[in-house]
Amino acid sequence: MVVMTSLYIRASSPGSALIRPALLLLSFITSSFVAFAADAQCSFEAGPRLVASDGTSGDVFGLSGAIDGDVMAIGAIWDDDHGFNSGTVYVFVLDNEGVWSEIFKIVPADGGSEDVFGRSVAVSGDTIVVGANGDDDRGFDAGAGYVFVREGDTWVQQAKLLANDGAALDHAGWAIDLDGDTVILSAHNNDDAGSSSGSAYVFVRDAKNNWTQEAKLTASDAAANDDFGHDVAVSGDTIIVGAYKDDDHGSSSGSVYVFERDAEDLWQQTDKLTASDANTGYHYGRFLDLQGDTALIGSPFHHPLNFGAAYVVRRSEGAWLEVEMLIADDPATQEWFGSSVSIDGEIALIGSFYGQGNNVGEAYIFHNTGDDLWTLVANPTAFDGSIGDGFGRMVALHAGNVVVGASVDDAPGVDSGSAYTFWIDCPGDVPGDLDGDGTVGVKDLLILLGNWGSCDDCDDCPADLDDDCTVGVCDLLTLLGNWG
């Protein structure tokens, strides 16, 4: 297929210096590219199972995990390198053949017994942040967060994040998330408004790589035992915080609080979300994820029999609206569907670590086929799953790459843990199809050029095709390579 095109673009437009060579390249393309054939189904493949290179019994590798681009980080919270249950995070990278390989093991400079380093982990670009809710710098089990940055194939510690008012038993780092230069660090056991009312801390990195605490977030109606901060997520200037024991619609019905950062870097609570069918004991907000204007909220005790559910909630013109409730295709008692969640674009990944009975575990992948009609397209399971593995306790998804943790899997030792990899590819997800019409063409090129430069929100920057938080030459080449 020969692609010929001519465009008139103002010389002052972003990326204009590259327009002329790009158009010359387009006009001389003679290679045949495989066009993406849109259909109603996604392609899905299972990859290898990952285990820690030095894993041993009781490490629970796979309890936490995250993916961004070609980097995956997986926590093993009871690894003993720096003392009993000190904790470790393993880093894997994806090669050109689509194979994940362990290349580094992260341990903190001051790690100690019972720190539980790796209880939570997040990746954004070349930065990995790790929660250690058992750290004692601010008091027994006050907790902390750590920041590591990539230098070649190693990650070096850049900072340790401690709450200004941290106190014993706060458990800061129980949950953590990162987007660009913003970290949200939860302290779900903080007692500002009563025992375990909970709080969360926002840290930001400046141009000199210094990290400072920007805000402390608490619920406007905080109350004892709400567990505000059991899970957190950040995307751009928006943060969501789960409080699954909140009682607005009955004991532990659960809620999610929305905070937004204004032009003066002040964070304000702008909304409080509850399920359309909220009820006692549903635990709405126990697990959650956020990308741009879309939140995925787990409610693992949904239904009197604890089938579980997950809700897709969208922001439109400043208002958050529940657009879909997702459930398993074969709900089962005590399945805990929604016990982990991850969203990337129009794909939702949901764990159910009690699925298949006896804590074997499974996961579900849904795809938005249009107008928020979410369709189940895959049901990942462990090829060697067995009773008690807990497959689905952790899930992570990015750019088609899927990882599901089975932290109490018994290979190579009892409860050593493992993680299973998969690949999902859905219609409209071809790299470079920025307008979602199933074809990479002129409109997509204009969108990419219009977003040339650094991304304001690394997690919501569709033109950043290589996930380096910058729209540049590599992204342009990727788009051109998928032309047609």
Residue 455 lies inside a defined structural domain of this protein = yes
Give the per-residue pLDDT at 31.
28
Q: Tell me, yes or no, whether 6 lies in a domain.
A: no
Query: How confident is the model over 20-45, as a mean pLDDT?
Result: 44
Give alpha helix (H) positions in 322-438.
none
Quickly state the pLDDT bin for 29 (edges 50, 70, 90): very low
Contacts of 378 (CB under 8 A, 6+ apart): 42, 44, 364, 365, 422, 424
Provide the pLDDT for residue 21: 37
Closest to 415 (Cα-Cα) out of 46, 48, 47, 52: 52
Same domain assignment for residues 329 and 455: no
Q: Which residue has the higher pLDDT, 98 or 89?
A: 89
pTM greater than 0.85:
no
Q: Which long-range contacts (CB under 8 A, 24 or more apart) does 291-295 make?
A: 291/235, 291/343, 291/344, 291/345, 291/459, 291/460, 292/235, 292/236, 292/457, 292/459, 292/460, 293/460, 294/343, 295/233, 295/240, 295/256, 295/320, 295/343
Quick check: is 4 in a domain?
Answer: no
pLDDT for residue 472 is more than 80: yes
Residue 113 lies in a domain: yes
Q: Hey, what amino acid is at 404?
A: V
Asked if 445 and 464 sit in the same domain, the reply is: yes
- Residue 2 pLDDT: 26
Q: Same domain, yes or no, for 49 and 33?
A: no
- Position with higher pLDDT, 28 vs 475: 475
Amino acid present at 452: W
Q: Are 123 and 67 in contact (CB under 8 A)?
A: yes
Query: Is the predicted pLDDT of residue 482 greater than 90, yes or no?
Result: no
Q: What's the CATH code of the domain at 290?
A: 2.130.10.130
Residue 326 and residue 434 in one domain: no
Residues 455 and 332 in one domain: no
Average pLDDT in the 152-165 region?
Answer: 97
In a domain, 2, yes or no: no
Instruction: Determine, yes or no, domain membership for 9.
Output: no
The pLDDT tens digits for 53-62 are 999 999 999 9
- Domain housing 119: 43-425
- Claim to verify: residue 406 and residue 419 sit in the same structural domain: yes
Residues 292 and 409 in one domain: yes
pLDDT at 34: 26
Q: Is the pLDDT of residue 419 over 70?
A: yes
pLDDT of residue 437: 55
Distance CA 421, CA 443 (A): 34
Element (H, E) at 481: helix 473-481
Same domain, 250 and 360: yes
Q: What pLDDT, on the 0 to 100 scale, is given for residue 26?
A: 37
Q: By mean pLDDT, which of 62-66, 214-218, 450-454 is the weakest?
A: 450-454
Given a cut of 50, whether residue 369 has pLDDT beyond it is yes
Asked if residue 151 and residue 211 are part of one domain, the reply reads yes
At 146, give phi and psi (nearest 5°): -125, 145
Domain CATH for 461? 1.10.1330
In a shared domain, residues 21 and 82: no
| 454, two tokens | 């650094």
- Domain tally, the chain: 2
**Residue 428 predicted with pLDDT over 80:** no
User: Helices 473-481 and 442-450 meet at what angle, rounded to 10?
Assistant: 170
- Please tell me the distance from the alpha carbon of residue 303 to that of residue 334, in angstroms, as a whole number: 10
pLDDT value, residue 443: 80
Is there a single domain that holds both residue 60 and residue 203? yes
